[in-house]
Amino acid sequence: MALDLFSAVNLGSISLKNRMVMAPLTRNRAAEGGVPQPMNVTYYEQRASAGLIITEATPISVMAHGYPALPGIYTDAQVAGWKKVTDAVHAKGGKIVIQLWHVGRISHPTLLPNGALPVAPSAVKPAGQAFTYQGLVDYVEPRALDANELPAIVADYVHAAQSALAAGFDGVEIHAANGYLIDQFLRDGSNKRTDNYGGSFENRARFLMEVTKAVVDVAGADKVGIRISPVNPFNDMHDSNPQALFNYVTSALNQFNLAYLHTIEGDMSGQDNSFDFVAMRQLFKGSYMANLGYDKARGNAAIASGHADVIAYGVPFIANPDLVERYRTNAPLNEADSSTFYGGTEKGYTDYPFLSA
């Protein structure tokens, strides 16, 4: 029988009962101290029929924060809060990995300890505004990291990965996409360095490779995935040659035998035809997770053609906790309410109806 979205699959050591993955989605509903709270447990538990859940992007340290009400994965209280999430998902037969996040320049002194400046590969201020507790405020020029500060950030990723394993996650996803710290090193619109972390593809990918090696060393490669977004301009990102850069990155990641490579195949607002994602994917020897604008038909087609092993769905999982069952039975989908995506209460979070309701 041909493979489709409902076929089981293994990503590294993680066994999935189907190939529908819940994409990482920022929801800004953690309690004080970045601690997951009961409504977060309910939200993830409701979506445990996904083959795999990837949590919302989760800061690895106090300096990794860039938005209000994010959960963290670096304190004991956060680990205890996440343990309730992973226990609830596992009790429903689901699998869940946590996305490890450092925002770099996409932050603001009011969100950082002692009003610190955000850090970045280079002192390049992004266009746009930060979401702060005081509302939208222009981004500031970040402080360029000295190369001798990078090992401490790598150590923060390691500590976060260890915390994730202690919290019962099935693995971790390293967030190297969407204009946050690792992506700021990768793309030359934000990386103007002249040391061995800037310039060549090898140099710009060095920080990603160092983080990946360190996380793989503590978690095991079969529990580690990576997310990239080669052409997403979100967060004022651009690169002079994305195809060559991400072909290089994809090939270089083969050395690790990762659980998966997860790719946002275009601009978050739509598909991008300027980049050959099929060619990039063919350079990767492991499992491939495709994301962006897929529906049931396109997801099945991508799996049948061998382009993708699994498909990550974002907004459809916000509005449809039972998206797998709805796709399986060709049932209508609930509409997502974008006014409740970021922050707030249970409304627009845990109150979307199931088919059975």
Query: Whose Cβ is closer to ligand PHB: residue 57's or residue 237's?
Result: 57
Question: Does the protein bind ligand PHB through residue 263 (CB under 6 A)?
Answer: no
Question: Does the protein bind ligand PHB through residue 26 (CB under 6 A)?
Answer: yes
Sequence-ordered list of residues with C-beta below 8 angstroms from that of 269, at least 6 positions apart, any chain: none
Q: Does the annotation count 180 as an active-site position?
A: yes
Query: Whose Cβ is closer to ligand PHB: residue 31's or residue 283's?
Result: 31
CB of 218 to ligand PHB, least distance (A): 23
| Contact by Cβ (8 Å): 99, 176 | no
Query: Whose Cβ is closer to ligand PHB: residue 175's or residue 296's?
Result: 175
> Which residues, 35 to 94, sit near ligand PHB by CB under 6 A?
57, 67
Closest CA to 49 of 327, 293, 340: 327
CB of 212 to ligand PHB, least distance (A): 18
> Which residues, 178 to 207, sit near ligand PHB by CB under 6 A?
178
Question: Does the protein bind ligand PHB through residue 130 (CB under 6 A)?
Answer: no
CB of 177 to ligand PHB, least distance (A): 6
Binding mask 135-174 for ligand PHB (x = CB under 6 A): ----------------------------------------
Which of 44, 74, 157, 180 is labelled catalytic? 180
| Alpha carbon separation from 273 to 266, 270, 277, 278 (Å, rounded) | 8, 10, 9, 11
Show the DSSP H helices in the chain as ranges.
Answer: 38-46, 76-91, 150-166, 181-186, 201-204, 206-219, 242-253, 277-282, 296-304, 315-319, 323-328
The DSSP code for 138 is E
Q: Is 263 exposed, middle or buried (0-12, 13-18, 19+ CB in 10 A)?
A: buried
Question: Does the protein bind ligand PHB through residue 177 (CB under 6 A)?
Answer: yes
Give CA angle at 54 (63, 86), nearest 5°.
Answer: 90
CB of 58 to ligand PHB, least distance (A): 10
Q: Tell me the number of residues near ligand PHB by CB under 6 A.
A: 5
Q: Is 7 exposed, middle or buried (0-12, 13-18, 19+ CB in 10 A)?
A: middle
CB of 179 to ligand PHB, least distance (A): 8
122: three-class secondary structure by DSSP: coil
Closest CA to 179 of 226, 228, 213: 228
Question: Does the protein bind ligand PHB through residue 311 (CB under 6 A)?
Answer: no
* Catalytic (active-site) positions: 180
Residue ranges binding ligand PHB (CB under 6 A): 26, 57, 67, 177-178
